[in-house]
Amino acid sequence: MTGKLYGVGVGPGDPDLMTLRAHRLISEARVVAYPTLAGTESFARSIAARVIPDAAREIVMDVPMTTAREPAQAAYDAGAAEIAAVLEAGCDVVCLCEGDPFFYGSFMYLFARLSGRFDVEVVPGVTSITACAARAGLPLAARNERLTVLPGPLPEGELRARIEGAESVAIMKVGRHLAKIRGVIDALGFTDQAVYVERATLAEEVICPLVEAPEKAPYFSMILLTKGADPWL
């Protein structure tokens, strides 16, 4: 019997927003796995830190900081091989994913490499977009409204075209793209409807109108733009 691979969403940051299933799988794990970026702390691991058993083995996939894809691929190849060896030996592996594993998550790289050979279960988690909306007091979408999720690194022209034609918009991974995104939203005249959210649900959370956003945004920051209908109706 080979082991089973679990891709477990641990939610947006507050450990209390883990699902019951995530909590149980992690608390019973013998092997956990997670990626780190260029040796920095894993956000997913920090969310689950109090739940990971002391005796659990930890498989760390260190992904280098580069926009080139080959080095990241090599890191996931190596991580997948290490995880495969554990699964072959009959032991389950719990892979920790911030937010949801299939919503802008790196777990899909492991899923692509291992789901053909092993039993894999994806455990969905609370995403940053609904966490940010909850904390900001901004309904994301109602009734027949459309919701568009855009990554901040998109080119300026594409961001503009996509925001212009959208109703509610969530712009993820703002980080160093903040000035560009602000420029696009300003030019479209939507600044008054835009809210900036940083590290939602964590103690260091920041929520403010986009005009008051700090000059430097971390990777885990978001802009919500709600152009939708009146929730009174």
Is 141 an interacting residue with respect to its own copies (CB under 8 A)?
A: yes
Judged by CB under 8 A, which of 5, 83, 95, 138 binds its own copies?
138
How far from chain centre, in Å, is Cα 136? 18
Angstrom distance (rounded) from CA 93 to CA 44:
15
Q: Draw the binding track, 145-174, toward its own copies (x: CB under 8 A; -: no contact).
A: xxxxxxx-xx-------x------------
Minimum CB distance to its own copies, residue 92 (Å): 17
Minimum CB distance to its own copies, residue 201 (Å): 8
Q: What angle do CA 231, 195, 207 make, to 5 degrees?
A: 110
Q: Are 131 and 11 in contact (CB under 8 A)?
A: yes
Q: Draw the binding track, 59-98, toward its own copies (x: CB under 8 A; -: no contact).
A: ----------x---x-------------------------
Q: Is the dihedral of CA 124, 14, 200, 176 positive or negative?
A: negative
Q: What angle do CA 174, 180, 190 make, to 5 degrees?
A: 90
Angstrom distance (rounded) from CA 38 to CA 56:
23
Interface region with its own copies, contact rule CB under 8 A, candidates 18-26, 88-96, 190-198, 208-216: 18-26
Buried b vs exposed e over 110-128: b needs ≥16 C-beta within 10 Å? bbebbeeebebebbbbbbb
Judged by CB under 8 A, which of 113, 174, 178, 210 binds its own copies?
113
Interface region with its own copies, contact rule CB under 8 A, candidates 28-36, 42-50, 87-95, 144-152: 144-152
Is 227 an interacting residue with respect to its own copies (CB under 8 A)?
A: no
Minimum CB distance to its own copies, residue 130 (Å): 4
Pair of tokens at residue 95: 């892979």
Interface region with its own copies, contact rule CB under 8 A, candidates 27-35, 119-127, 184-192, 208-216: 119-127
